[in-house]
Structure 1
Amino acid sequence: MSPLDDLRISVSQSGENSEVVILRLDGVIDTLTAPQLDKVMTRLLQQRRYKLVCDLSGIDYVSSAGWGIFISYIKEVRENQGDLKLVKMQPDVAEIFELLEFDTVIKSYDDLNRATYDFDGQPGVRLQPQAEPAAVATVSLLQPPIESIESHATKISLSITKPAEPAPSLEDKILTLVQEDPLLRISEIRGQLKLPRLGEVKVSRLKIFFVLKKNRLLRLRSRCLFARQAGKSF
Structure 2
Amino acid sequence: MTVHFHEASQSVTTADAAYAGLDERHAVQSGPGTFKVYRALGKRIFDIVCVLMALPAVLPVVLIMMILVATDGGNPFYSQMRVGRHGKSYRMWKLRSMVQDADAKLKDYLESNPEAKREWDHSQKLKRDPRITRVGRFLRKCSLDELPQLWNVLRGDMSLVGPRPMMIEQRDLYPGRDYYALRPGITGLWQVSSRNESSFADRARYDALYNRELSFFTDLRLIVATVGVVCRATGH
TM range (shorter): under 0.3
Greater per-residue strand proportion: 1
The answer to which structure, 1 or 2, has the higher relative contact order (CA under 8 A, 6+ apart) is 2
Greater per-residue helix proportion: 2
- Bigger radius of gyration, 1 or 2? 1
TM-score (norm 2): 0.24
